Structure 1
Amino acid sequence: MMEQIIYHDQLLAVIISNKFDKPGIHFFTPNELSQQLAYMRHPKGKIIQPHVHNPVPREVLYTQEVLFIKRGKLRVDFYNDQQKYLESRILEGGDVILLVTGGHGFEVLEEIEMIEVKQGPYLGDRDKTRFVGISAQEAKILELSKP
């Protein structure tokens, strides 16, 4: 189960459900994104050839975040670039989300453990513009799309 959150042809996020389960390597992101997201499942004995990564200059214009939900429940609220609320999704343990563009906010619904991966270094207030989000009562929660 994988879902792309799109608003007016703009990719806001990619969600990989903990239920996604296909053999091989599956990339979920287009090549032009500065963060790439893939799922990999290999059988026992598979050899991944040793390698090093070559220094390749890349230009990063927007911070893109990946959240790995280890346990708990998280409501993710999506906003457009003008800070207008669009919709929400619920993530749970094992789910992964790549936040690509637009705005986002969160409410922890059950105590949560998650890991965040993003470009660094983090620059504090220079890195983001904070704004007032919606209340829990205003959330339009949509179910994750089925495969």
Structure 2
Amino acid sequence: MREITHEGLVLARHVPASEAWGEGLRFFSPDADFIQAGTWGYPAGKELLAHSHNEAHRDVAWTQELLYIRKGRLRARIYAPTDELVDTLEAGEGDLLMLLRGGHGYDILEDGTQVLEVKNGPYLGPDVDRRRLK
């Protein structure tokens, strides 16, 4: 797993497919992150006990996103909260990309690239939830 940081702030985490998928339960985010990302893989016959989530109010200050690259490749540009380009990385099939702070943009590198994006909500609309970088 690779963390992209700027002045001590974790902006993004890239979890390559080779590290993301395997046996058992693995989480890639500390408890304090607004979005929690993990993977699990078990053999047939494994029982996962049923559970329900309790009502728990949270104060969420930032939208955080998780990308799962289902197919293809992309280049992600990672920006500091000051809009300064900090790093770029390439992500491919099976990779996870957690976008935690600052900004981001993408270049699609292969035709047919497919990405699942998950983010915390509720979504307040483009004028409230985001701003375009120059």
TM-score of the alignment, normalized to the shorter chain, above 0.5: yes
Q: Does 1:128 align with 2:130?
A: yes
2:33 alignment partner, SS class: coil
Give 1:44 shift. Answer: 2.1
What are the ranges of 5 or more consecutive residues in structure 2 without an aligned counterpart? none
Any idea what SS the aligned residue of 2:109 has?
strand
User: Where does residue 58 of structure 1 map in the other structure?
Assistant: 58
Moved over 2 A (4+): none
TM-score by structure 1 length? 0.83
Residue 76 of structure 2: SS of its match in structure 1?
strand
Task: Name the SS of the counterpart of 2:47 in structure 1.
Answer: coil
**Which residue does the alignment assign to 2:115?**
114
Q: Distance in 1 between matches of 2:17 and 2:55?
A: 33
Deviation at 1:105, TM superposition (A): 0.9
Which residue is 2:71 aligned to? 71
**Are the aligned partners of 2:4 and 2:87 in contact in 1 as well (CA < 8 Å)?**
no
Q: Which residue of 2 aligns with 1:10?
A: 9
How many pairs were matched up? Answer: 131
Note the residue ranges of structure 1 that are not aligned, 5 or more in a row: 133-147
Partners of 2:82 and 2:16 in 1: CA distance: 28
